[in-house]
Amino acid sequence: MSLGNVVRSSTFTPRKSLRVYSVGAGILLALIGAGLKQGVCAPSSHGAILVSDMQGEKVSTPAHPVRIADLWFAHNEVVAMLGAADRVAVTVDKPANQPWLFQVSPALKAARFVTPGSADVEGLLADKVDLVFVSTGLTDVSKLREAGLPTLDMSFRDMAGLRRSVELTAAALNDVTAREKAARYNAALDTQLVELDTALAAAPAATRPKVLHLKSLFPLMADGRDTIIDQWITRAGGRNAAGEVSGNMRPVDMEQIQVWDPDVIIVQGGVPLPAAGTPAPAGWDVLRAVRNGKVFMNPTGVFPWDRYGSEVLLQLRWVAKLLHPDLFGKYDLPADSKKFYQDYFGVSMTPGQIDRILTSRPPAD
């Protein structure tokens, strides 16, 4: 099944029901009703709404936020996907670090860059920010809320959390476009996971390839369980070789990796793979994955596909085809990627641009 068919075959009745309402009061009532039903958006006073964040905190936010500070790297992609990049006034991303994000959402270039992890209360107030998105692992939420800044924690560590974060972000943005895209994206993700589960049902877990995901080679850092990395490895038909380690980007040594002896190694995009003239960690060449030519660089798009962004929908297909070409050889990653960026970011990528994303290279221009 193509990614296009995944999207087209998905259904999500509460969202699609919005289409039957006429312009005006009908749409407004439908939006409020849908929000009340799901507990993500309720009307408040003074032109505000109540929105729950990922910690379950109910926060009063503007009904129509226009000056957003997005202080979590990964979440800027979600806001851009939902059509609100032009409302971001402050960001922790910059073109040098996320060039494809600024390529597909050039409005972000007008946003003020702030140092990640900082809670620049005075600066945010001076910028007239009316909504702040954060990850509590990076930013002190209490300082922002004490200053009267409506602040929502959108952090997550698994696909269920991603799904919820997308939904809550759309509720906070509070417009038809954001809600429709969020519903469509979540339905496509659900359908993709079901498709993988169905195709892999006959593959015993014990026989699935061991996959090691490395954040870096110098120093060696691996991603273990309790992460979205662990989830896409397992849902795409692999076993996380670093499953005994908990968390993201954990320091490991070569002796431990040699004990794990993974069948496949996936290295985060942008990290040079060992080759002629490129150094390798000591002991690298004895690893099974290295000997068998099963070391791959992860694609990097609007955000690194392997991390906490919406492109996990593409990551699942890329890894499934990599690990089980007999089952998922039908996946056409260039075509799937082109459709994804058209559907969710409104950009028509050229074959050359898609190739650069799949090979983890920045835009040519």
Answer whether residue 27 shows pLDDT above 50. Answer: no
Residues 94 and 231 in one domain: no
Query: Higher pLDDT residue, 28 or 226?
Result: 226
- Tell whether 363 is covered by a domain: no
299 and 160 within one domain: no
Residue 56's alpha-carbon distances to 42, 52, 132, 155, in angstroms, are: 14, 5, 16, 12
Three-class SS state of 246: strand
Segments forming the whole domain that contains residue 218: 202-358
pLDDT at 3: 63
pLDDT-above-90 percentage for the chain = 81
d(CA 172, CA 79): 10
238 and 162 assigned to the same domain: no
Considering the domain boundaries, does residue 336 fall inside one? yes
- What confidence tier does 1 reach under pLDDT thresholds 50, 70, 90? low
CA–CA dist 10, 16 (Å, integer): 11
19 shares its domain with 158:
yes
Round to whole Å and give the CA distance between 147 and 121.
Answer: 7
Q: Establish whether the linkage from the previous residue to 304 is cis, with ω within 30° of 0.
A: no
Residue ending a domain, choose from 192, 226, 246? 192
Q: Do residues 186 and 206 both lie within one domain?
A: no
CB of 35 closer than 8 Å to CB of 42:
yes
Do residues 320 and 298 both lie within one domain? Answer: yes
203 vs 15: which has the higher pLDDT:
203
Residue 159 half-sphere exposure toward CB, CA atoms < 13 A: 23
Average pLDDT over every residue of 139-148: 94
Please count the structural domains in the chain: 2
Structure tokens at 64: 């129509």
35-83, pLDDT tens digit by residue? 434 445 544 445 899 999 999 999 999 999 999 999 999 999 999 999 9
238 or 12, which is more confident: 238
Same domain, 38 and 111: yes
CATH of the domain at 207: 3.40.50.1980
Residue 85 domain-assigned? yes
Phi, psi at residue 52, to the nearest 5°? Answer: -85, 145
Domain boundary residue among 164, 192, 220?
A: 192
The per-residue pLDDT for 277 is: 76
In which band, very low, low, confident or very high, does the pLDDT at 22 lie, cut at 50, 70 and 90? very low
Would you state the pLDDT for residue 20? 34
Residue 69 CA to residue 67 CA, distance in Å, equals: 7
